[in-house]
Amino acid sequence: MELALAKKASQLLIRHWRDGTTLVELPLPLRPKTRAEGYLIQSQIGNLSTRPLFGWKIAATSLAGQRHIAVDGPLAGRLLAEMVHQNGATLTFGANHMRVAEAEFAFRMSRDLPPRDEPYGENEVLAAVAGLHLAIEVSDSRYTDFTLVGAAQLIADNACGHQFVLGPEAPPLWRSLDLAAHRVIGRVGTRLEREGIGANVLGDPRIALVWLANELSQHGLTLAKDQIVTTGTCLVPLEIAAGDNVSVDYGPLGRIAMRFAQ
């Protein structure tokens, strides 16, 4: 795919994002045929931001997440600084039509992991982690039915990236915990409570982080120092609506909360 076509595809998706509208799928001349073409389109979303890239998200690291968007494996997307909120924030619900919030583990990097031919191993990636944060992702898609368009178009659409809430840094004890077995409880006010575990994230959030480092490397991208990687939902996504309060309890690692304006 030519860069000019990738820019046009991105501009079309961005216009729908800003307007709160959707499209069935990208027009055929702008439609990515491969993951690489999807990432080329996605890369243009950085033009929306005047600040350095905040980090990366991983979509569909759990079976529930894969079923939700009808793909068979994870997808990487960008976190734009302008879409990041702090713990306790009030978010605008807007025209979000995915209408879910996701409880996630997010890693903050201490050094760059640049592209290379040799895959990164788990020990190497974890040695480049500065800390673990609690997080809530609020996904959305610019497609009318995001279950029909396939992985390449979803990657082009920033892997359903939208809003992100960065919670507190977890205490250092996280490094000695079995994150795969770690339980989290997500709540939406008093009407919904759902439990999940770290194993729902590609078997372990650490494994998801390694996947992201290698996915970026394979496509010539750097996972950079100070960037955040949010690794995907630990539980079945929480159904949300305007006015809802959302919280996630991570036990000894802490708690995160946010709300949606009416």
Q: Is residue 154, in this structure, part of any structural domain at all?
A: no
Predicted TM-score of the model (pTM):
0.95
Residue type, 131: G
Q: Is residue 8, in this structure, part of any structural domain at all?
A: no
Please report, for the domain that includes residue 84, its CATH number.
3.90.850.10
Between strands 183-188 and 192-197, the pairing is antiparallel
Q: Is residue 200, in this structure, part of any structural domain at all?
A: yes
Q: Is residue 155, in this structure, part of any structural domain at all?
A: no
Q: Is residue 121, in this structure, part of any structural domain at all?
A: yes
- Give the position of tokens 């809530």: 136
Q: Is residue 14, in this structure, part of any structural domain at all?
A: no
Q: Is residue 236, in this structure, part of any structural domain at all?
A: yes
Residue 141: its pLDDT value, please? 96
Residue type, 226: D
Tens digit of each residue's pLDDT, the chain (262 residues): 999 999 999 999 999 999 999 999 999 999 999 999 999 999 999 888 889 999 999 999 987 778 878 888 899 999 999 999 999 999 999 999 999 999 999 999 999 999 999 999 999 999 999 999 999 999 999 999 999 999 999 999 999 999 999 999 999 999 999 999 999 999 999 999 999 999 999 999 999 999 999 999 999 999 999 999 999 999 999 999 999 999 999 999 999 999 999 9
Q: Is residue 205, in this structure, part of any structural domain at all?
A: yes
Q: How many domains does the chain divide into?
A: 1
Among 78, 26, 83, 82, CA closest to 57: 78
Segments forming the whole domain that contains residue 173: 52-143+162-260
